[in-house]
Amino acid sequence: MATELNHLDSDSPVIYLDHAATTPVRPEVLDAMLPYFSHAFGNPSSLYAIAGESRNAIDEARAQVAAVLNCRTSEIVFTGGGTEADNMAIKGVASTFNEPADIIVSDVEHHAVIHAAEQIERDGHHVISVPVDRYGIVNPQDVASNLGNRNAIISIMYANNEVGAINDIPEISRIAKKHAAERGTTVIVHTDAVQASGKLPLDVKSLGVDFLSLSAHKIHGPKGVGVLFARRGVKIDPLIAGGGQERQRRSGTENVPGIVGMDAALILAENERLQFCEHTRAIRDRFLAAVTERVDGVTINNHPENSLPHIAHISIPGLEGEPMLLGLDFKGICASSGSACSSATVEPSHVLLAMGMSRELAQGSLRFSFGKDSTQDDVDYTVNALAEVVTQLRGMPSMAAR
């Protein structure tokens, strides 16, 4: 029933239901990476044979990633992860503009996008944040209404990391390009597709985007490696200066094992995408139906149709997420909260607040994200455990939401 991981406090296996946070590296991915830690360790920039092995591995990975994204190999930039890819798209493009530009983001973007936009706002660019509906979805017309006569960068995530909401990126791209053609301005469209990989199509031509970010560790690849699709012809300044690797766009000796792992993980995720979606949707729907029946007052925050298939996001009134997570962890279940915790305070998720949720209800939110190996038995055990934890906490006044 349970995932083959050891619990921190015992030898018992745990049920891992936090795949939207990170995933274990698949054996096939690790096998592909291992040679580049040992005998094929050469620096790809050197000229001798073992360096050629590394260089060829990068070239092959780039070609295969480009095939998944339906783009040119020259449009693939390997990065240190999704956060770097997001920053590179926003800061790298903004720095090429001679005049202040509009930076249009949504209220529910990942902090990698939000904070990158805030940083370049200090350089004189104008950040505009568009609202979302109660499910976390952006209305493309809200993006359109904020396009003016200045150059613009639009960064709207493909799918939300907390509630799984899916945005209409092709329509946003269509609106942006039409506006740019009519006004004679430059409008660049970036989408953070980190959560979408392995769940949604990644064809950049169909999406119509100029930039797209991915991260390996969300799809059973290694941490610390990602991809930025950068459309040919769009100017971008590098964030990292140095030896000029990645066609002068991202300097530094390439992380060859990571790049190989990114490629292997992405190919597996794409090949198994439809199967994964069918499996996790059934598991998630079973969970939501059962938790609604077993836990009084639970609210489901996923859009009933326009949502990633593997994410179940719920709120339980009168409780905080952290005590519930600790109770679940004690029972061997890994999930995550709708709140971001610091050493001093617990703040509700900006995503949930942007969806119009009250602070109290947002603090009582949980995300369960299922994987390819999640089972119906995992669901049944988890729902029973959650019901027990909720019953226990509701009997403890000190645990009520502040």
Residues 192, 251: one domain?
yes
Candidates 219, 200, 351, 374; CA nearest to 287 is: 374
Q: How far is CA 375 from CA 16, 23, 162, 284, 294, in A?
A: 11, 16, 21, 10, 19
Residue 33 belongs to some domain of the structure: no
Shared-domain flag, residues 217 and 282:
no
Nearest to 192 by CA among 245, 246, 115: 115
- Same domain for 314 and 211: no
Residue 31 covered by a domain:
no
Digitized pLDDT (tens) for each residue of the chain, 402 residues in all: 444 443 334 456 799 999 999 999 999 999 999 999 999 999 888 888 888 899 999 999 999 999 999 999 999 999 999 999 999 999 999 999 999 999 999 999 999 999 999 999 999 999 999 999 999 999 999 999 999 999 999 999 999 999 999 999 999 999 999 999 999 999 999 999 999 999 999 999 999 999 999 999 999 999 999 999 999 999 999 999 999 898 889 999 999 999 999 999 999 999 999 999 999 999 999 999 999 999 999 999 999 999 999 999 999 999 999 999 999 999 999 999 854 444 344 688 999 999 999 999 999 999 999 999 999 999 999 999 999 999 999 998 654 444
Residue 103, strand partner residues: 127, 153
Q: Tell me, what CATH number does 372's domain have?
A: 3.90.1150.10
Residue 136's CATH number? 3.40.640.10
Q: Are residues 165 and 280 in the same domain?
A: no
Torsion angle in degrees (nearest 10) through CA of 229, 232, 238, 244: 100
Residue where one domain finishes, among candidates 271, 289, 307 = 271
106 membership: H or E segment, kind and range: strand 102-106
The total number of structural domains in the chain stands at 2
286 inside domain:
yes
Provide DSSP, 224-284: S-EEEEE-TT-----SS-SS-HHHHTS-S---HHHHHHHHHHHHHHHHTHHHHHHHHHHHH
Query: Are residues 329 and 375 located together in one domain of the fold?
Result: yes
Determine the Cα–Cα distance for residues 211 and 288; give it in Å rounded to an integer.
35
65 in any annotated domain: yes
| 71 located within any domain | yes
In a shared domain, residues 59 and 142: yes
Tell me: do 60 and 88 sit in the same domain.
yes
Which one of the listed residues 71, 277, 334, 341 is annotated catalytic?
341
Within-domain flag for 34 = no
Q: Is the pTM of this model over 0.85?
A: yes
Residues 89 and 113 placed together within one structural domain of the fold: yes
Q: Are residues 252 and 351 in the same domain?
A: no
**Co-location of 251 and 338 in the same domain:** no
Q: Domain check: are 227 and 354 in the same one?
A: no
| Residue 332 vs residues 312, 352, 380, 386: alpha-carbon distances, Å | 18, 27, 13, 11
Residue 246 lies in a domain: yes
Q: Is residue 277 flagged as an active site residue?
A: no
Residue 239 belongs to what domain range? 40-271
Examine the fold and report which residue of 238, 271, 304 is the final residue of a domain before the chain moves on. Answer: 271
Per-residue buried b or exposed e for 18-47, using 16+ beta carbons within 10 Å of the residue's own CB: bbbeebbbbeebbebbebbeeebebebeee
Q: Is 276 in the same domain as 266?
A: no
Domain contains 82: yes
